[in-house]
Amino acid sequence: MQLLGDRWTLLILRDAFLLRTRRFGGWRESLGISDPVLSRRLRDLVDGGVLRRVLYSAAPERHEYVLTEAGLDLWAFLVAIWGWERRWVAGTAAVRVDLVHDRCGARTMPLLACGGCGAVVGARDTAAERSPGAGPERNAPPRLRRRSTLSEEPTDAALLMPETMALLGDRWSTVMLAAAFLRTRRFGDFQRDLGVPPTLLSQRLRTLVALDVLQRVPSEQRSDHHEYRLTVKGLDFFPVMALLWRWANRWMATPAGPPVRISHPACGAALDPVLLCERCGEVLRRRDVRFARPQRVSSV
Ligand SMILES: [Zn+2]
Ligand SMILES: [Zn+2]
């Protein structure tokens, strides 16, 4: 999960899926990323088991990077990101591509469902909890990178998912958002649960409030205290988080077990999140979906 909480990493993966980028020069061109930053991120993705480095030319020696099975399994997470941006972020490039479900032929939206019982679920229909073994140290980013300089920050390339970048493109924001879904609400609780330095915490909370993902409201217990709650827009980000957790639980499992457990109380099963086609109701599979340019609507 921490591997993915990085702007460049998300953009590299997006292009690996959308543009089928495999080569160093391809990402350099589409993202305008500097060579050292790109090398470092590719190395991290290879170390994390998401990309595999394969030789495609012996002389001169050249490598390309292909998605591993774990990497390919990120497709649903990326489709959920697209769906959320499409719904909530006006004017983004997400509006300029459609999701096509080849099984029914419709241009569609993804819906999150419980893989066990098939019901469509949202954040409020599920119960999420930290596993007993998961202490604060497992939430915190494993290493603090050198603060990015301005030229290292993605610019135009980030436009396809601008707000997701603000939510997931930073390791601290990612863990704070995850904590919000686990019902952490007060400043002091975020600080204690996550070990976030206070100045960084208030800065990130301000950003999340400005994005209308969290709202600052008077506490139910003490009206002179405030707490941070997910807004409707924030709650609607649940499919992205659920699919990210599912992925991390499946591929990044540690001896201590999965960091987060989500259940679907209505059916009693552990939530195995899947995406359904809003139009035909079938479970979406990776090979049956693609992105396409919107059709022109001709006036009749
Ligand atoms: Zn269920
Ligand atoms: Zn369909």
ipTM value for the complex: 0.98
Residue 140 lies in a domain: yes
Total domain count, the chain? 1
Residue 2 lies in a domain: no
pLDDT given at position 133: 55
Residue 269 lies in a domain: no
CA dihedral 221, 223, 224, 226 (to 10 degrees): 80
Residue 85 lies in a domain: yes
Which three-class secondary structure state does DSSP give residue 18?
helix
User: What type of residue sits at position 116?
Assistant: G
Which tens digit of pLDDT belongs to each residue from 125-139?
A: 999 887 765 554 444
Mean pLDDT for 218-241 is 92
Q: Computed from CA positions of residues 177, 180, 182, 186, in that sequence, does the dihedral angle turn out positive or negative? A: positive
Return the CATH number at 97: 1.10.10.10
**Measured distance CA(223)–CA(289) in Å, rounded:** 48
The whole domain housing 220 covers: 75-235
**If you measure from the C-alpha of residue 288 to the centroid of ligand 2, how many angstroms do you get, rounded to a whole number?**
9
Q: Report helix angle 35-47 to 7-18, nearest 10.
A: 80
pLDDT given at position 34: 93
Residue 248 lies in a domain: no
Q: In this structure, which residues have their CB less than 5 angstroms from ion ligand 1?
A: 114, 116-117, 264, 267
Indicate whether 155 pLDDT > 50: no
**If you measure from the C-alpha of residue 120 to the centroid of ligand 1, how many angstroms do you get, rounded to a whole number?**
8
**If you measure from the C-alpha of residue 109 to the centroid of ligand 1, how many angstroms do you get, rounded to a whole number?**
20
Which tens digit of pLDDT belongs to each residue from 196-209?
A: 889 999 999 999 99
**Measured distance CA(239)–CA(79) in Å, rounded:** 10
Residue 263 lies in a domain: no
Residue 10 lies in a domain: no
pLDDT given at position 122: 95
- Contact status, residue 4 vs residue 10, Cβ threshold 8 Å: yes
pLDDT given at position 136: 46
Which tens digit of pLDDT belongs to each residue from 156-194?
A: 444 456 678 777 777 788 888 989 999 999 999 999 988
pLDDT given at position 158: 43
Q: Is 93 exposed, middle or buried (0-12, 13-18, 19+ CB in 10 A)?
A: middle
pLDDT given at position 6: 78
Indicate whether 286 pLDDT > 90: yes
**If you measure from the C-alpha of residue 292 to the centroid of ligand 2, how many angstroms do you get, rounded to a whole number?**
15
CA-to-CA dists, residue 46 to 64, 107, 252, 280, angstroms: 11, 34, 13, 37
When comparing pLDDT for 44 and 256, which is higher? 44
Considering every ligand atom shown, identify the ligand nearest to the alpha carbon of residue 115 and give its number: 1
**If you measure from the C-alpha of residue 110 to the centroid of ligand 2, how many angstroms do you get, rounded to a whole number?**
9
Q: Report helix angle 187-194 to 198-210, nearest 10.
A: 120
CA-to-CA dists, residue 211 to 204, 232, 237, angstroms: 11, 12, 12
**If you measure from the C-alpha of residue 239 to the centroid of ligand 2, how many angstroms do you get, rounded to a whole number?**
18
Contacts of 105 (CB under 8 A, 6+ apart): none
Indicate whether 42 pLDDT > 90: yes
**If you measure from the C-alpha of residue 127 to the centroid of ligand 1, how many angstroms do you get, rounded to a whole number?**
11
Mean pLDDT for 50-61 is 93
Indicate whether 117 pLDDT > 50: yes
Residue 195 lies in a domain: yes
Across the chain, mean pLDDT equals 85
Considering every ligand atom shown, identify the ligand nearest to the alpha carbon of residue 267 and give its number: 1
**If you measure from the C-alpha of residue 155 to the centroid of ligand 1, how many angstroms do you get, rounded to a whole number?**
40
